[in-house]
Amino acid sequence: MPPTKATWGGTDSQGNPLRWDQPGLVWGGDIPEPKNKRKTMQLRVNLGFANAPDHTLEEIAGAVSENLYGDAAYPTPPVTQAALDASLTAFTNAIAVQAQGGTAATADKHNKREALIGLLRQLAGYVQETHGNDMAVLLSSGFEAVSTNRASSPLAKPRIKDILNGNSGQLILRGTPVANARCFEVRYAAIGAGGAPGPWQSAGLITNSRSMPINGLTPGTMYVFQIRAVGGSTGYSDWSDAVQHMSL
């Protein structure tokens, strides 16, 4: 649309009469167009981990440990990975002890939780100052962003990092955390003759991706495992790549 010329008795874009002292107006020139100022939304790190359930807090701390360190976008974290991992391990152990009951165990778990939250807050502040208002950079830290959209999105595909031998007939899977996952589903199958897997069996839903114990396995038998995250807009993530391990 061509600009409107200022004339005697003219009006602005809102239909208001033009005045001699109107800012930006040059008589005989064009009527200034109204300027629409767009606010750039500042992305913020989600600090909701401070009020999250214990196992969710574990998941978030694990995601930060796995993703933040070594990321070129975050060269100088104020907390070392060793310190964060030590605090996370102490908190995980305290949860296990607290489950057996006792006032002292509950107080110790609370203290370990607050210590872990303190480290995460330091790292969240660093990420907030460093992400440059880039959502991809923010999320690459392992932290979540304060949502600007209430619509849920598909969950990322998890990965089985390793499988450990527990008690006889027990294997413990360790998977990668997935942001916004409610829990994880595990399935497994025994490897038969010729290396072909048998029917898949469900091991149920497990909340902590860092420790997923699978019981009732046959010692000396090779098994194949997969995990998937539960939640998001599609209900489930894709299944992880399959990983094999022998039960002892």
pLDDT for the residue numbered 227: 96
Token couple for 29: 């020139």
CA dist 209 and 183 (Å) reads: 8
pLDDT in tens, 189-205: 999 888 888 999 999 99
Query: What's the first-to-final CA gap in the chain, in angstroms?
Result: 78
CA dist 110 and 74 (Å) reads: 30
The DSSP bridge pattern shows strands 201-206 and 183-190 to be antiparallel
Level-2 CATH architecture, domain 160-246: Sandwich (2.60)
Does residue 211 or residue 85 have the better pLDDT?
85
Least confident residue range of 29-33, 42-46, 110-114, 132-136: 29-33
- What is the residue extent of each domain of the chain? 1-31, 48-140, 160-246
When computed from its CA atoms, the radius of gyration of the chain, rounded to whole angstroms, is: 28
pTM of the model: 0.55
Averaged pLDDT of the chain: 86
Token couple for 28: 């005989």
pLDDT for the residue numbered 100: 80
